Amino acid sequence: MAYRPDEDLSFLEAVDSKDLDDLVYCLTHDRDGIARITEELTTASEYKEHYPDHKKYWELIAAEIQCFGANTLATMLRGGKGVLYKEVLMDICDKMKVNYNKNSSVEIIESNLLMKILSDAIEKMKPDELKELAISAGIKNTNNITPQAMIGAFQAIFRAGGFTSYKLTVIVVNAVLKALIGRGLSFAGGAALTRTMAILTGPIGWTITGLWTAIDIASPAYRVTIPAVIQVAALRQKQLYAGEPETLAFS
């Protein structure tokens, strides 16, 4: 396992070790908390020496994502190096039928992925759940609120970026991870509106579980790459926007 210089993962160097806990756990353990047989991270000397100070071996963490997202034989031919993160991300988006532009930045493509999950969940919500979600999101007129209206509102938040987009990202990612690996983000509590998170956890859980079942038959590697990419998206948003003042919706 060797790290390929990757501009879309290099930000991990600046992430606090504590915030990397969830990503490292996902790469090294399955949903039942059992150590993954195929992972290589915990066998590395840097991991053994510095764990749990993940920042000191962030390149190994990034390399693990790259290798899980690559074909095993191709990785061997590349001297143990996997594929760049954007390729891993786009592969997942293809499997999950996400509409995206391959020329867009990874931040935008990650938002497209999260919006696909969120949209599918909203489509499954009952009218009373939809109204409660609208209220928690700060929408004034909730009479006859439709799934399309809620999807449009959240799309606008993602497009605007900033702290509110970060909060929405954390809400979605937290619900997805609870469904996929049985635990949410360790830093979700202070960043997201608890009420909104509670409303969305069920519908997103049902949605992602169905997608997971459909995708899982293709390759067991998706059990690692899907939650890993989802967590990278949250970490990226936190690194970019967590320090911004809270001025928009969800306030």
The model's pLDDT over 26-36, given as tens digits with 9 standing for 90+, comes to 999 887 888 88
Q: Worst-scoring range by mean pLDDT, 49-53, 100-104, 140-144, 241-245? A: 241-245
Q: Note down the domain range covering 217.
A: 10-241
Does residue 4 fall inside a structural domain?
no
- Average pLDDT (87-107) is 93
Query: Dihedral angle at the C-alpha atoms of 8, 244, 196, 186, nearest 10 degrees?
Result: 60
For the entire predicted model, the pTM comes to 0.86
Does residue 91 fall inside a structural domain?
yes
Residues 60-80: tens digit of each pLDDT = 999 999 988 775 434 443 455
Which residues touch 210 (CB under 8 Å, ≥6 apart)?
none
- Residue 10, both tokens: 């290099």
Does residue 63 fall inside a structural domain?
yes
Does residue 155 fall inside a structural domain?
yes
Q: Helix axis angle, 58-68 relative to 85-95, nearest 10°? A: 40
Identify the burial level of 108 via C-beta atoms within 10 angstroms of its C-beta, where 0-12 means exposed, 13-18 middle and 19 or more buried.
middle
The H or E element spanning position 225 is helix 222-241
CA angle (84 as vertex; 80, 85 as ends), nearest 5: 120
Number of domains in the chain: 1
Does residue 212 fall inside a structural domain?
yes
- Report the sign of the C-alpha dihedral through residues 96, 98, 104, 105, in that order: negative
Does residue 250 fall inside a structural domain?
no
Yes or no: say if 236 and 11 are a contact pair by the CB < 8 Å rule: yes
Does residue 3 fall inside a structural domain?
no
